[in-house]
């Protein structure tokens, strides 16, 4: 029997946001591989083996799953959010490219999930309503000066910026440095959304300005969205504010149904 490998996105944490396709792939798998806390989110099933590993062992984890699948098993690698966004799908592809020919003939499927920036954006409104980009602040696999150049370029070009891997115990200073860099190019009033553990019991969402954005308390469970100069905040009495980026420049407060008038 020819083996199969699925790389499955578990979404942001709530079972209701796990796609039917992901649920079917999880049920079909004979073996699951993943970072321990992500595996813990998948209910145990009789006859299905589980192979947990540390967060920094992506390459080793991907290779082990490929070896298992090459023996004819139906294998799944689980990943938080979407597996193609700073996650396990790229690690699996890297191993296939560098690995033996047997890995290239495997049936490999990537099962998408809701990534953190979409979950956080949905909580506050539509901050990604216009052009946006995503940048990982981790300098484990790329130099910090490359991250600085990308922050400069994105802010100067008017992109809303989703910041992944914002801070960890091993990387406590990068987020503060990123905020300082962005303050050179964006208005002080630019909205910044902090979304921690979205769709989980300990969820915390806060909105600040770029001037007041504080990196304290941010960890690997936090996704940050930094608005553009066009991003707006709608204050609502007794309700959380809505944060959105208008679909076009100088369009705030104008609906498609309102016709232009001549003087």
Task: Tell me which of 3.90.226.10, 3.30.70.270, 3.20.20.60, 3.40.1010.10 is the CATH number of domain 4-114.
Answer: 3.40.1010.10
The pLDDT tens digits along the chain (263 residues) read 689 999 999 999 888 899 999 999 999 999 999 999 999 999 999 999 999 998 889 999 999 999 999 999 999 999 999 999 999 999 999 999 999 999 999 999 999 999 999 999 999 999 999 999 999 999 999 999 999 999 999 999 999 999 999 998 888 899 999 999 999 999 999 999 999 999 888 999 999 999 999 999 999 999 999 999 999 999 999 999 999 999 987 654 444 433 444 43
Task: Look at residue 258 in the predicted model and tell me its pLDDT.
Answer: 38
Task: Look at residue 168 in the predicted model and tell me its pLDDT.
Answer: 87
- Considering the domain delimited by 117-244, tell me its CATH architecture: 2-Layer Sandwich (3.30)
Cβ neighbours, 10 Å, residue 184: 10
Instruction: State pLDDT tens for residues 241-260.
Output: 999 999 987 654 444 433 44
Task: Look at residue 151 in the predicted model and tell me its pLDDT.
Answer: 98
Task: Look at residue 256 in the predicted model and tell me its pLDDT.
Answer: 45
Instruction: State pLDDT tens for residues 18-33.
Output: 999 999 999 999 999 9
Task: Look at residue 169 in the predicted model and tell me its pLDDT.
Answer: 86
* Domain limits, CATH 3.30.950.10, in the chain: 117-244
Segment (H or E) for 124: helix 116-124
Question: pTM for the complete prediction?
Answer: 0.91
DSSP strand pairing (232-236 vs 239-244): antiparallel
DSSP strand pairing (204-209 vs 191-196): antiparallel
Q: Let me know: does 199 contact 119? Beta carbons within 8 Å.
A: yes
Task: Look at residue 204 in the predicted model and tell me its pLDDT.
Answer: 95
* Domain limits, CATH 3.40.1010.10, in the chain: 4-114
Q: Let me know: does 111 contact 22? Beta carbons within 8 Å.
A: yes
- Residues in Cβ contact with 234 at an 8 Å cutoff, skipping those fewer than 6 apart: 125, 241, 242, 243, 244
């Amino acid at each position: 029997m020819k083996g199969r490998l699925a790389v499955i996105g578990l979404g942001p944490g709530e079972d209701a946001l796990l796609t039917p396709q992901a649920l079917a792939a999880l049920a079909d798998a004979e073996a699951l591989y993943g970072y321990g806390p992500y595996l813990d989110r998948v209910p145990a099933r009789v006859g299905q083996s589980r192979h947990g590993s540390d967060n920094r062992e992506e390459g080793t984890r991907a290779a082990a799953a490929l070896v298992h699948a090459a023996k004819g098993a139906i294998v799944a690698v689980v990943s938080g959010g979407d597996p193609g966004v700073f996650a396990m799908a790229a690690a699996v592809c890297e191993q296939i490219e560098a690995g033996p020919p047997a890995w290239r003939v495997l049936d490999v499927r990537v099962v998408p999930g809701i990534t953190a920036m979409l979950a956080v954006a949905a909580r506050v409104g539509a901050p990604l309503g216009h052009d946006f980009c995503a940048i990982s602040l981790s300098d484990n696999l790329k130099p910090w000066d490359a991250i600085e150049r990308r922050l400069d370029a994105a802010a100067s070009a008017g992109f809303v910026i989703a910041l992944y891997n914002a801070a960890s115990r091993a990387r406590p200073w990068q987020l503060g440095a990123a905020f300082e860099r962005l303050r050179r190019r964006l208005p002080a009033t630019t909205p910044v959304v902090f979304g921690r553990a979205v769709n989980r019991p300990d969820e915390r969402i806060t909105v600040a300005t770029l001037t007041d954005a504080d990196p304290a308390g941010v960890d690997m469970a936090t996704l940050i969205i930094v608005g553009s100069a066009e991003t707006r905040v709608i204050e609502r009495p007794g309700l959380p504010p809505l944060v959105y980026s208008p679909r076009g420049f100088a369009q705030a407060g104008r609906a498609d149904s309102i016709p232009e008038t001549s003087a």
